[in-house]
Amino acid sequence: MINKIKDLLQEVENMKAANAEEIEALRIKYLSKKGEISLLMNDFRNVAADQKREVGKFLNELKETTQNKINELKERFENVQTVDDDIDLTRTAYPIELGTRHPLSIVKKEICDIFGRLGFSIAEGPEIEDDWHVFSSLNFAEDHPARDMQDTFFIQHNPDVLLRTHTSSVQTRVMEKQEPPIRIICPGRVYRNEAISYRAHCFFHQVEALYVDKDVSFADLKQALLFFAKEMFSPDTKIRLRPSYFPFTEPSAEMDISCNICGGKGCPFCKGTGWVEILGCGMVDPNVLENCGIDSKVYSGYALGMGIERITNLKYQVKDLRMFSENDVRFLREFESAN
């Protein structure tokens, strides 16, 4: 009899049911008045007195296990009762394919986050602009080549409606409206009439930063640049500033960082110099402040701007600029882990 109980115990432990009817059938089979367990209970009377204790123990275990198992099946079934019968719940789920962030978006976010830690807030402006915000307010001379049809996309032959060639127009818009202190970072897409090749495109992305307050000095600019370079690339990154010219800053500089590929030893990427140029910067020209209604005798400021494609190239060594706008998923998937 003990063997019979053990067999039943095994059977009960493995029992399965697909619906309420099957659970009920199992309950009747084992637990009803004429069920397997009741029959065993009846037989229990004939068990020899010296075995009653042991057999009784097994019998109780069987009864309890069966009851628990049936309750468990019922519970599991009740939880999915509302699901349509046509759905096969045993099928594996469809994998949810998450997209990946575009490499330019990843780098843009990183740049904005770094300047965010320095207290800069994000400002945005329109891509379709006018001459004042893109050129005149920023000290571009009437005959500056950047205004030329070669460089700028004008809309409908109207020289006062154009696609912005840089995000500096956002700085003008903020300075016109806001009293200093101003501490903004302006990311966005810009357009230039250039032949598309592996190293140039007719649209690309910039991030510019502007800080205007009392007593802002070149030393403040340099400190912000050094902080940015170390945060963006690595803590041992070095920077150097070379004098340059931009219409809207005076003095102006271009910043190089120590080549992050060869560590400054010289490689094909840095053309053997150990340095790579990453951005332009300078002190905001007093004319620009005055154009925007800010008293240049009271306030000073610095500005800096960089191409997001350039920084992305440095971080990920993308050799061909066109990859950024072709939406080739094989290229985009490579940035999955950077998300």
State yes or no: residue 277 binds Zn ion (CB under 5 A): no
Whole-angstrom distance, CA of residue 322 vs CA of residue 265: 29
Specify the stretch interacting with Zn ion by CB under 5 A; choose among 8-16, 25-33, 67-75, 261-269: 261-269
Closest CA to 311 of 128, 90, 108: 108
Of the two residues 12 and 270, which places its CB atom closer to Zn ion in the complex?
A: 270
Closest CA to 189 of 166, 158, 162: 166
Specify the stretch interacting with Zn ion by CB under 5 A; choose among 142-150, 169-177, 265-273, 324-332: 265-273
Specify the stretch interacting with Zn ion by CB under 5 A; choose among 227-235, 240-248, 269-277, 291-299: 269-277
22 is in an annotated binding site: no
Of the two residues 199 and 265, which places its CB atom closer to Zn ion in the complex?
A: 265
Polymer length in residues for the chain: 339
State yes or no: residue 257 binds Zn ion (CB under 5 A): no
Whole-angstrom distance, CA of residue 12 vs CA of residue 175: 79
Of the two residues 203 and 269, which places its CB atom closer to Zn ion in the complex?
A: 269
- The distance of closest approach from Cβ of residue 268 to Zn ion in the complex, given in angstroms and rounded to an integer, is 8
Whole-angstrom distance, CA of residue 150 vs CA of residue 202: 11
Query: Residue 203, SS3?
Result: strand
State yes or no: residue 278 binds Zn ion (CB under 5 A): no
State yes or no: residue 292 binds Zn ion (CB under 5 A): no
For the beta carbon of residue 217, count every other beta carbon within 10 angstroms: 11
Residues 87-106 that bind Zn ion (CB under 5 A): none
Specify the stretch interacting with Zn ion by CB under 5 A; choose among 181-189, 200-208, 253-261, 317-325: 253-261
Whole-angstrom distance, CA of residue 76 vs CA of residue 28: 19
- The distance of closest approach from Cβ of residue 105 to Zn ion in the complex, given in angstroms and rounded to an integer, is 26
Provide the mask over 113-142, with x wherever binding to Zn ion is found by CB under 5 A and - wherever it is not. ------------------------------
State yes or no: residue 267 binds Zn ion (CB under 5 A): yes
| Of positions 186, 212, 259, 279, contacts Zn ion by CB under 5 A | 259
| Of positions 26, 186, 270, 311, contacts Zn ion by CB under 5 A | 270
Of the two residues 214 and 265, which places its CB atom closer to Zn ion in the complex?
A: 265
Whole-angstrom distance, CA of residue 232 vs CA of residue 67: 64
H/E segment holding residue 292: none
DSSP codes, 226-273: HHHHHHHT-TT--EEEEEEEETTEEEEEEEEEE-TTTTTS--GGGTTS
| Of positions 18, 25, 202, 261, contacts Zn ion by CB under 5 A | 261
Provide the mask over 1-40, with x wherever binding to Zn ion is found by CB under 5 A and - wherever it is not. ----------------------------------------
Handedness of CA 109, 111, 112, 115 (dihedral sign): positive
Whole-angstrom distance, CA of residue 120 vs CA of residue 12: 68
Specify the stretch interacting with Zn ion by CB under 5 A; choose among 131-139, 195-203, 214-222, 256-264: 256-264
DSSP codes, 140-153: --TT-GGGSTTT--
Question: Which residues contribute to the site for Zn ion (CB under 5 A)?
Answer: 259, 261-262, 267, 269-270
Residue positions forming the annotated binding site: 250
Residue positions in the annotated binding site for Mg(2+)? 250
